[in-house]
Amino acid sequence: MISHISLDVTDTFEVIDTLGQLNESEAIFSHLAKYLARYGFTSFLVSGLPAQRERLEPHILLNGWPTGWFEHYTAMNHYRHDPCVRHCFSTIEPFAWDEMPARLLEEPEARVVMEEAAEFGLAEGLCIPLHDVYGSRVITVAGQHLDVAPSARRMVHLTSLYAYGAAERAIRKPTYYKGVSRLTERERDVMRWTAEGKTFWEIGKILGISEATVNDHMRNIRVKLGTRNTTHSLAEALRRKELRL
């Protein structure tokens, strides 16, 4: 007789194999959502983790949060006070929301984030942080009422890792072969002046925008090009013929 655990493992590896063959964000999103639903997860987010003073939106790869919650979360800039985010930066282990250290919920703003999430149907969840030399990322999955066995939690962990890789691969897909320009004219202006060795402050003065806006443009450039830093962005922009010096 085949156990439920064996079926979970078999199904999980089938999903992983499928994710490994997909190159479109929509298909990756659909397969991940269907897989997570079997464990009671109704919402998920696959994203990079910028510094808490930065905005989260440009780093998101797959957004499976309820629309109302995402709009509220970003409008209130809850990312600054999200205790899940703070804990992600301090651990490499997956954790359920109710496993976070109590000290992270001492600030009223942190409690508000979690209380309001529950109001939008994200009462319980699981975060899977990822850290390497390129930065920090997270896959967070949530639902109203969860009862996930340890074996299932491991399966969700494993599948989420592959989902992140698939989502990142889809974002980096070389659409420039189709003649599609991925950078805006202003983003190319920022890149050109960066190649000239100008600082963000100097570029802001030249273009008549704030230094913070220049930084936002550069962050968006990295997301669009799938690059990790300014030097990598310049090299990739030149390779894609988005930039000519």
Round to the nearest angstrom and report the end-to-end CA distance of the chain: 66
Which numeric CATH code is attached to 4-171? Answer: 3.30.450.80
pLDDT of residue 172: 67
pLDDT of residue 245: 63
Domain ranges for the chain: 4-171, 175-239
pLDDT of residue 173: 56
pLDDT of residue 3: 43
Task: State CA 77 to chain mean position distance.
Answer: 16
Written as six digits, the tokens of 18 are 């499928």
pLDDT of residue 131: 85
- The whole-model pTM stands at 0.68
> What is the fold, at CATH topology level, of the domain defined by 175-239?
Arc Repressor Mutant, subunit A (1.10.10)
Residue 197 zone, left/alpha/beta (φ > 0; ψ -120 to 50; rest): left
pLDDT along the chain (245 residues), means of 10: 52 85 89 91 93 87 94 95 96 93 96 96 94 83 84 87 86 50 83 91 93 88 78 79 75
**Burial class of residue 155 (count of CB atoms within 10 Å of its CB; 0-12, 13-18, 19+):** buried
Cα dihedral 63, 129, 22, 57 sign: positive
Do 110 and 104 contact (CB within 8 A), yes or no? yes
* 95: three-class secondary structure by DSSP: strand
Rounded to whole angstroms, the Cα distance separating 199 from 50 reads: 21
Task: State CA 4 to chain mean position distance.
Answer: 31
